[in-house]
Amino acid sequence: MVAPNGARRTKADHPALPMTIDEIAQTALACHRAGAGAIHAHVRGADGGHILDAGLYAALLERLAEKVPDMAVQISTEAVGLYSAPEQMQLVRTLRPKAISAALRELCPTQADEAVAAVFYAWCEREGIDVQHILYDAADVGRLGELMARGVVPAGAPSVIYVLGRYSVNQESTPDDLASFLAAAEDLFEAPDWMVCAFGRGETTCLEAALRAGGKVRVGFENSLWNANGGTAASNEGRVAEIHRIAANLGRMGGTV
């Protein structure tokens, strides 16, 4: 999976970072050709800022279906401090996408939010919307397991993404960050569908560690602008190609990238 832009970076951070619908679609095509089977999509408003807008997402989904019909699309519901959980949920109910990523600590931050969150998660399951739970630390993993045990989150093998380095010094991840997630999940989940993304210059080594451990990976300018050698990457598709080569060398192909 490629995450080409995220919510925060702009062309001031990298000139090849896609921001418009046309740019995102073109990047998706290039990344698909480089080996990415899916895209994690954010849209931007007229000012270039993060926005949760069903109309813009619908336009992007239509363009991606035309440009790369064989590429899976997951939309972001990230709040970035701008949106409430009800607004995030309403986006999904209006758009009805095939797949979303959603931070557990945003949609269900406290026990008081559990009833509303349970209705939303159950609705997504009925509608066939794949929910990938964004987990930032081992405590998030434990909380997801507890919510599943109590029926707030539907039972079964969860789809999760472990975010490495988000709260590390200078947002720099290391492969050692993965161990606490895997240890926390070992006793809670049966065959979880797990993925890793990693911030900073350690992205490549972290994703290689995830591939070696049996996970899937997400790569792209949302989390890191750097190649394994520490140099600035030329493009998202270049990053995809590098991780694709690593996956191939490890014999980890078929939906891992």
Grade residue 41 by pLDDT with cuts at 50, 70 and 90: very high
- One-letter amino acid of 130: D
The domains found in the chain, sorted by start residue, are 21-249 (3.20.20.70)
Is residue 138 within 8 A of residue 184, CB to CB? The reply is: yes
Would you state the structure tokens that stand for residue 148, as one six-digit string? 């599943």
Q: Give CA angle at 243 (97, 239), nearest 5°.
A: 75
- One-letter amino acid of 96: R
pLDDT of amino acid 167: 66
Is residue 220 within 8 A of residue 4, CB to CB? The reply is: yes
Asked if residue 77 has pLDDT above 90, the reply is yes
Residue carrying structure tokens 């290391």: 174
Asked if residue 170 has pLDDT above 80, the reply is no
Per cent of the chain over pLDDT 70 is 97
Task: Residue count of the chain, please give it.
Answer: 257
> To the nearest 10°, the Cα dihedral for 133, 106, 149, 193?
0
CB atoms within 10 A of CB 13: 12
CA-based radius of gyration for the chain: 17
Distance CA 33, CA 95 (A): 27
Would you state the structure tokens that stand for residue 51, as one six-digit string? 């926005």
Asked if residue 254 has pLDDT above 70, the reply is no
DSSP string over 223-241: T--B-TTSSBPS-HHHHHH
Q: What is the pLDDT of residues 87-117, one digit of tens each?
A: 999 999 999 999 999 999 999 999 999 999 9
- One-letter amino acid of 89: M
pLDDT of amino acid 169: 61
Q: What is the mean pLDDT of the chain?
A: 95
Distance CA 202, CA 187 (A): 28
Distance CA 195, CA 132 (A): 9
pLDDT of amino acid 201: 94
In angstroms, the Cα distances linking 105 to 133, 166, 244 are 9, 14, 31
State CA 35 to chain mean position distance. 17
**130-137: average pLDDT:** 97
Q: What is the pLDDT of residues 188-231, one digit of tens each?
A: 767 789 999 999 999 999 999 999 999 999 999 999 999 999 99
Asked if residue 2 has pLDDT above 70, the reply is yes
Distance CA 86, CA 226 (A): 35
Asked if residue 236 has pLDDT above 90, the reply is yes
Is residue 103 within 8 A of residue 79, CB to CB? The reply is: yes
